[in-house]
Chain A
Amino acid sequence: EPEVTQTPSHQVTQMGQEVILRCVPISNHLYFYWYRQILGQKVEFLVSFYNNEISEKSEIFDDQFSVERPDGSNFTLKIRSTKLEDSAMYFCASSKDRVEEQYFGPGTRLTVT
């Protein structure tokens, strides 16, 4: 069964550094998403992406964040200058249509020190 994959599974970085989290969505899906979950808290929506542009973004998704689909398979989330409060699990998801089932990846645990 096709699945969403994410790399790395765990990323440790120093405050102020740039990080890129990578995702490979399911191949015939058209909508891509990033979410985050701070330890012990609820999942939060960051951004959705369709047709090579952002379709929705939350208040969390400020100028420090950017997304890109650099080729036909990868979908990346870049955090330009990480802060301690960016430490969280970041989930990528994809779906065929925006109202259809979203498939989540296993997540990347980001630790900012």
Chain B
Amino acid sequence: KNQVEQSPQSLIILEGKNCTLQCNYTVSPFSNLRWYKQDTGRGPVSLTIMTFSENTKSNGRYTATLDADTKQSSLHITASQLSDSASYICVVSARSGGSYIPTFGRGTSLIVHP
């Protein structure tokens, strides 16, 4: 069964500090991995998308890495801001024939304190 596990479940950091969120998956056959930011009560917003051949991708202060061999990804946030407080969701899509089925992780809840 395809699964996506994220850690930690929650994280509290001080404004200005860096942090790294982890995602492990058992999705097969792998198509792509996405990181989303979801503010409470809002729809997810895409941060990065990576395919099998990509091992790092940046979007401003967000940098995602992918190790397709160990089936792990991380999201690094640099110089955190109060507005970074949100849930960060890892989504891995499997490709079956012409179909792409996404599996969502439960998310890491990040709180940034002043």
Residues of A within 8 A of B (CB): 4, 41-45, 48, 55-56, 58, 91, 93, 98-107
The B interface is mostly helix, strand or loop, or mixed, namely strand
Q: Tell me the residues in window 77-104 of chain B with beta carbons closer than 8 Å to chain A beta carbons.
A: 89, 91, 98-104
B51 touches A99 (CB 8 A): yes
B89 touches A58 (CB 8 A): no
A58 touches B49 (CB 8 A): no
The A interface is mostly helix, strand or loop, or mixed, namely loop
A104-B43 contact in complex given A42-B104, A44-B104, C-beta closer than 8 Å: yes
B38 contacts across to A, CB distance below 8 A: 43
Measured as residues with beta carbon below 8 angstroms from the partner, the interface class of chain B is 20 to 34
Residues of B within 8 A of A (CB): 31-32, 34, 38, 41-46, 49, 51, 89, 91, 98-107
B46 touches A101 (CB 8 A): yes
A99 contacts across to B, CB distance below 8 A: 31-32, 49, 51, 100
A56 vs B99: C-alpha distance when bound (angstroms) = 6
The residue from B42, B100, B103, B107 contacting A98, defined by CB atoms under 8 A apart:
B100
**Interchain residue pairs with CB less than 8 A apart (19):** A4-B43, A42-B104, A43-B89, A44-B104, A45-B102, A48-B100, A56-B100, A56-B101, A91-B43, A93-B43, A98-B100, A99-B31, A99-B51, A99-B100, A100-B49, A101-B49, A102-B34, A103-B46, A107-B43
